[in-house]
Structure 1
Amino acid sequence: MKKLSVLALSVLFISGWASSNASAEANDASDRVIISFKEDIDYDLLEEMGAEIHEEFDAISAVSVTLPNEQLVQTASNDSSIEYVEENSIVTAAGQTTTWGYRTVKANTATSLGYTGKGVKIAIIDSGINSKHPDLKVAGGVSKVENSSAFTDGNGHGTHVAGVIGAQNNSIGTVGVAPDSLIYSVKVLSANGVGTLEGVVAGIQWAIDQKVDIINMSLTTINDDQALRDITQKAYDAGIVVIAASGNEREKGLYKDVLYPARFPSVIAVGSVSKLNKLSYFSNYGASQELVAPGEGILSSFTDSKTTSNEDYAVSEGTSVASPFVAGTFAQYMEAYPHLSNKQLRETVNRVAFDLGVKGRDNTYGNGLVQSLQTKAALFPDLKNNVWYTLPIQKNFDRGIITGLTDGTYRPDATITRAEAITMIGRALKLNKTNTNHHFSDVPKDSYAAGYINSAYELGYIKGINEKEFRPNDPIKRGDMALIMQSAFKLSGTQQAGFKDVPKTMYYYDAIQAAYATKVVKGYADNTFRPKNPITRAESAEVINNALK
């Protein structure tokens, strides 16, 4: 394990990344516009307008172009086939004014458990990465900076971000939160820390095309650019976790929320906190703040133009530094829960964040301080390993019978509805899920369970509460579950369970006896079955798994 306290090289205090030369680069791209089409890109129309195409963004049917004159920009805006036209605005690195952070997010615990982001692809959309740095491994990359084909780093910003995420667990420098992740350098900022909307959109498009898992953007703009909003949404819809710095403009008092792109709903906005878990003096905050992470005095890999060495390190601060802590943490969770979607992972990481400020989510700290994995992962984040339900749930998951809930949990102790129970049984028996012969008025035709309920009814496995109602959203009782299991799995047996709360006069008596005889169900230690109690999600998984043995 590396020692984070080692600081053998010069400490740099950086107040900002954009130098006085930035304006010249900005002017070179200021004549360009982003044109988004309602349908496919209309190349014939672009040719008629004399447009010079610089970049194509297929994901949002848009292009970056230069038009011969200003009048054509207005003409394009009025064309019925065009969704919008917007200026190619300028974005900048979320400036670092000058590393306890690794331990504060408890990455050391996750590493000891074996979660290092192995195999997770992370695109760092920034100033590039020094791929020759001995503490970094760069899997690939691209440059979207004009007249710069290499994705190396002439600024240092991207290299610093890369180190927070993926500095190698070796004998030098620092260690990243996810040292075994696959880092991709997507260069969109010049050596002066300045980039364009066109470059950032192109960089995100590249990341989508490469099917990365996570995008980190330690950059900000004050503009709500539609093209940037659209492309980040496309990335999110493609299953990518998109993370961005909240911005370092708090002291100016000009903004009531985080900056863009962090403010977009598809993006996880990350603010910065100090060693005292207080919001950093520079960190933006607001309603869009989702998480916070360490962002002051963070040591990481660097590129210093004043040296000839590739072994530079620097201590910096800013939301630029906080954002990669969150990106690395998501890589750990992706490794641990590869079957969870980006939306489920987002809810999971938010749910386990360490609450700061007022109780619950707030505008200052969002959901709280990001936290790495602290226990060996079970199938779902809220399950335990090596308990009675572990194997049945895993088996049913492997069979495609269960998928968990939309927030990434399983909730083993929660009740299961009648619709959910029939869906699980239907999947287990491969019933026709597209059956449209509807029999119950209270089962919506577009319900996920409708086909299974229709099929199970026609096969005689289930009955309604009455002729017209099934009550799909009611919890299913243990006695009723036994009755359905007996019918669906053809259970029979003569062994008498003798449960004291299951009288022979009850409609489910024979079913419980048969299910018990075939070891599909169990009773309780007090010789009860509790047939009127709702069955839990864990119990239903065990019952179905027993029936399939």
Structure 2
Amino acid sequence: MKKLIVLFIASSLIVFGGFSSETKAEEITDKYIVYYADAEQVNAKRITELGGEVQHAYTYIPALLVNASAEEIEAIRSDASVMHVELDSKAQVVLPIRSPMERLVKSADQYMPWGVQRVQAPQMWQRGYTGKGVKVAVLDTGIALNHEDLTVSGGISYVPYTQSYADDHDHGTHVAGIIGAKDNSVGVVGVAPDAELYAVKVLDSDNSFITSNVIKGIEWSIANDMDILNMSLYTYNYYDDYGLHEVLKVAHNKGLLLVGITGNSGTDNRPNTVTYPGKYPEVIAVGATDASNWVSEFSSFGAEAEVSAPGEAIYSTLKDGTYEIMSGTSMAAPHVSGMLALMKEKYPNYSSTQLRNALKNNTKDLGVKGWDPYYGQGLIQGDLGHYKIWPAKQNVSDEKVWSITYNRPVDSESVIEENFYVTDSLGYRHDVFPMLVESNQMEYTIVQVHTWEPYQRGETYTLWIEDVRSEDGTKLKENVKMEFTIQQ
């Protein structure tokens, strides 16, 4: 029996996906999760007869949370109707070193974090997609309820000391800000600024939590018709938790998009360091990248890595109304949740499987060609629609002026920087301006794209042409993109 208890202590620990997190067992509880083969087998009366006390009956999985002594749980385990028993245990997370920054308070000072730019969220906003009407559950420490940059649409607390789902830590608020900080001219802006954020508080102010409460939080998300579930957490020591997987299977089958993390064990001496629940096939496992598009050293890797997203030096919201930088796969996952909210708004009739495939199909390939265990399918990008790819140009002058000829008159109001622009290899915009230089009302139009400053020698850029309209207001059928490399 002693050996069994030691095994399950490790089994139920869940940790944050923050950078360099360390986990330790704080307390062994006297609670167990008792699983049955199906709902008809669940027998609370029998638990009582065997000396146990039923604390909670789960809704979507055939299981009971039971308070029992070691002797009582042995009797319960031996009952013919019981399929599986796991010990519910408590853990504590030592947080990463954080980087405080001065708070932004003036309306002119709203800051767009580099990760939001890198995943092409602004281009999605430009097309009218901001996550409006999409419900995102943040399974975390709660969310600040009075932060000027956040609107919390609802939530629940499963920690024992409070019914409030307000954040009394910081981690959940930081994650929520990455997903959906408002575009309101203050602080920061998130990937999906109009998404509906729901705080599912399963971690407490000491960063402590138990598996049974995480399962409750997932069940709440199912019952309340969430579209997306962000889980910036992982089980301790690569443990495959039975109950956690079972409830995630249910959530997946009911159409929830499940976003998790690969984990922060990239430096472990193992061939595969992806952690659960990201390791489950129902969950999108997200790895972290830095501002140079390199995979973060701490980011876990392995066969289950699906996509990557910005996860280093990410600036976001805190519970006291301020802002701060944090790093970790915890910060990468909410970029994906936010992007899925934008895509859900764009494709409201898509199934979760279709949206997941669309996410993977809109990535920037990094590392070795194609999928790899570090970046997965690559860095997520906005679903900007179909583009005609013009042949790449080499040895381009650093002061190149691009001329685009249209075989019909073009509406001058569509010749703007939002429709003709250039990005560098990291996705940052290079300052250019388009000009309508010649127009024959009967035959053709020429648009030139000028650069304000010389292009960097040896750098590769992309020219984007989007949403150009003819004089009668008709949108031209094809958007265009073209890579070009500046001469050394």
| TM value normalised by structure 2 | 0.69
Paired position in structure 2 for 1:38: 37
Paired position in structure 1 for 2:59: 58
- Offset, 1:181: 0.8
Q: Is the 8 A contact 1:94 1:320 kept in 2?
A: no
Paired position in structure 1 for 2:353: 343
- Offset, 1:53: 2.4
Letter in 2 for 1:373: D
Q: Is the 8 A contact 1:94 1:318 kept in 2?
A: no
- Counting only pairs closer than 5 Å after superposition, residues 31-110 of structure 1 correspond to structure 2 as 31-40=30-39, 41-67=42-68, 69-90=69-90, 96-98=96-98, 99-110=113-124
Paired position in structure 2 for 1:212: 226
What does the per-residue CA deviation read over 1:99-132, in whole Å, with 9 as the maximum and x for residues that have no partner?
3101110001001111111100010000011111
Rg larger in structure: 1
Letter in 2 for 1:371: Q
> Secondary structure, in 3 states, of the residue corresponding to 1:31?
strand
Paired position in structure 2 for 1:173: 187
Paired position in structure 1 for 2:375: 365
> Secondary structure, in 3 states, of the residue corresponding to 1:264?
coil
What does the per-residue CA deviation read over 1:230-263, in whole Å, with 9 as the maximum and x for residues that have no partner?
0111100110000112211222335723111111
Q: 1:186 aligns with which of 200, 205, 215?
A: 200
Q: Is the 8 A contact 1:249 1:255 kept in 2?
A: no
Specify whether residues 227 and 33 from structure 1 end up closer, same or farther in structure 2 by C-alpha distance, changes over 3 A only: same
> Secondary structure, in 3 states, of the residue corresponding to 1:333?
helix
What does the per-residue CA deviation read over 1:180-214, in whole Å, with 9 as the maximum and x for residues that have no partner?
11100000111122211011001001111101000
Paired position in structure 1 for 2:426: none
**Higher helix proportion:** 1
Larger RCO (alpha carbons 8 Å, 6+ apart): 2
Specify whether residues 264 and 245 from structure 1 end up closer, same or farther in structure 2 by C-alpha distance, changes over 3 A only: same
- Offset, 1:355: 1.3
Q: Is the 8 A contact 1:35 1:84 kept in 2?
A: yes
- Offset, 1:31: 1.8
Q: 2:302 aligns with which of 281, 286, 306?
A: 286
Letter in 2 for 1:88: D
1:131 aligns with 2:145: yes
Unaligned runs of 5+ in 2: 1-17, 99-112, 388-488
- Counting only pairs closer than 5 Å after superposition, residues 518-533 of structure 1 correspond to structure 2 as none
Q: Is the 8 A contact 2:314 2:326 kept in 1?
A: yes
Q: 2:241 aligns with which of 225, 228, 234?
A: 225
Paired position in structure 2 for 1:146: 160
Q: Is the 8 A contact 2:25 2:92 kept in 1?
A: no
- Offset, 1:311: 1.9
Specify whether residues 38 and 32 from structure 1 end up closer, same or farther in structure 2 by C-alpha distance, changes over 3 A only: same
1:159 aligns with 2:181: no
What is the rounded CA distance, in whole Å, between the counterparts of 1:137 and 1:111 in structure 2? Answer: 18
Letter in 2 for 1:175: V
What is the rounded CA distance, in whole Å, between the counterparts of 2:171 and 2:310 in structure 1? Answer: 16
What is the rounded CA distance, in whole Å, between the counterparts of 1:186 and 1:255 in structure 2? Answer: 33
- Counting only pairs closer than 5 Å after superposition, residues 367-382 of structure 1 correspond to structure 2 as 367-375=377-385
Paired position in structure 1 for 2:363: 353
**Higher strand proportion:** 2
- Offset, 1:376: 8.8
What is the rounded CA distance, in whole Å, between the counterparts of 1:95 and 1:373 in structure 2? Answer: 34
Percent identity, aligned pairs only? 37
Count of residues in correspondence between the two structures = 352
What does the per-residue CA deviation read over 1:277-303, in whole Å, with 9 as the maximum and x for residues that have no partner?
111011111111111100001100012
> Secondary structure, in 3 states, of the residue corresponding to 2:340?
helix
Unaligned runs of 5+ in 1: 1-13, 304-309, 378-549
> Secondary structure, in 3 states, of the residue corresponding to 1:250?
coil
Q: 2:135 aligns with which of 99, 118, 121?
A: 121
Specify whether residues 368 and 295 from structure 1 end up closer, same or farther in structure 2 by C-alpha distance, changes over 3 A only: same
What is the rounded CA distance, in whole Å, between the counterparts of 1:281 and 1:97 in structure 2? Answer: 16
